[in-house]
Each structure stands twice: as structure tokens, then as C-alpha cells.
Amino acid sequence: MDTFMKTYWGVAVFAMMALFCGATNADNKAIEQALKEALPGVKPDSITPSAMAGLFEVVVGPKLFYVSEDGRYLFQGSMIDIKAREDLTEGKLANARISSLKNVGSNNMIAFKPESSKHLVYVFTDIDCGYCRKLHSEIDQYLTEGIEIRYLFFPRTGEGSDSYNKAVSVWCAEDRNAALTKAKRGDTIEKRQCENPVDRHLALGTQMGAAGTPMLVTEKGNILPGYVPAAQLAKILSQEAEK
């Protein structure tokens, strides 16, 4: 699944470049049509002028592209305001990540909530990942810090693997939170099948560039790769909130 999605997006980008090269007077509708042909069934979330004259920002889920106003060129990468020393792309990507996560919906995640919530973190997790298990073994510490954890599944070995099947079984359990805790301890859980969001989680994590787990996404849309202790995470989130 992981390799497939990366290949899919890679091919799609080249396909879009070829399509844009054929346009002469690109506007929003022309760009939408090019995207429609390159990515069937996918519609851009927004097409807006960028900070640089002659370039448009195209947001598709958690992805952002730059397209020239004549439709000939497509760019990927960061736009830096040298004078302000600011990465203009990362801020837009952060917003796109949060929008994508909200589209998934909290009802399609497994949440561990503190009595009094100060912060929210989305965690892409693999049940069999060592550091994912370490993070979850300290869940009470995160809750004490007022951090709500919302889990999305990212079985690194892909669809149909043992980790993937465990994720499905956890989701289909009568008590998902208890089943997740049990699975992360390495205990055997009952195998179950039902309608589940695991594929959607996996696809979104891939689109966001997840290279490993756990991958944390803050409530402002910033990515923290890897395990972060509760006290340190609380400090990072407080500093982020102040900005």
C-alpha cells in the first residue's frame, strides 16, 4: 500500500506536468480540468494566487503544488520569503494537513482524552512498532499533561499484513481503546472484520510523507516524526500555541 501510494502520486505529478504544458491560458477551470485528467476522481480543494506573481497554489488533500498562470509549469517544494526569512509553503501545508484530518473525522479515529484537554495531537501508529508501543505505554503521562491523543493506523508493512489485520481487529472490537492497549502490549486480540477506516488512514499518512511511526501531527498541522516524551511534547505544544 505504502509503495503503491508513493508511486501513484509520483506518476500523477508527472502526468499533471504534461497536461499543464499543453495549456495556453490556464485559469482555475483549466487547472481543475488538468487535475481531473491526471487524478481521476480527485478535485482540488483550492486554487489561489500565491505570494509570487504569476504562480497559483493548488491544494489537493494534504498536498500543495505551484502552477504558473499560463499553465505550462508545475512546481513542488518550498517557497521561501528571503526578506522575512519565512517558509510560506510549510504554513499552507500545515493547514492542508489539518483540513485533511478533519475530513477523516474524529469518529474515524481512536481517541484517548484527558479530563481537562489543553492540546490535541494526531498520531499515525503501527501496533507492532516499538516506539509506538513505548508512546502508548505512557498514555497516562500524556493525559496528565492535558494532551488528547487521536490515533490513526499506519501499518508500515501495508495492506493484508499482520499489523494491518491487527489494526482492523482493534477497530472492530467492542471496546476499541481497550483493544488497542491490549494489542500494543503484545497480547493476542480477537480477530474481527468490519467496515473500517484503516485504508483511509494509511493513504493519508502516505500522502503526508510518513516514513516511519509514530508520526505526530500537532493541532496546528506541524509534523513531529518519532516518539516524543509527554513532558517534552507538552512544552512543544505550548510554544506552538503561543506563536
216 vs 143: CA distance, rounded Å = 15
33 vs 23: CA distance, rounded Å = 10
Backbone phi, psi, residue 131, to 5°: -75, -25
43 vs 59: CA distance, rounded Å = 9
6 vs 97: CA distance, rounded Å = 17
**Catalytic hit among 2, 97, 128, 132:** 132
> How does DSSP classify residue 129?
-
Q: Are 136 and 180 in contact, with CB atoms under 8 Å apart?
A: yes
Per the rule left: phi > 0, alpha: psi between -120 and 50, beta: everything else, 164 is alpha
Active site residue 21: no
Active site residue 194: no
149 - beta bridge partners?
112, 121
Amino acid identity for residue 221 in this structure: G
Residue that is written with C-alpha cell 501499518 in the block: 155
Q: Are 115 and 153 in contact, with CB atoms under 8 Å apart?
A: no
Amino acid identity for residue 14 in this structure: F
Q: Which three cell numbers stand for residue 1?
A: 500500500
The terminus-to-terminus CA distance of the chain in angstroms comes to 37
**Catalytic hit among 129, 133, 150, 172:** 129
Residues serving a catalytic function are: 126, 129, 132, 156
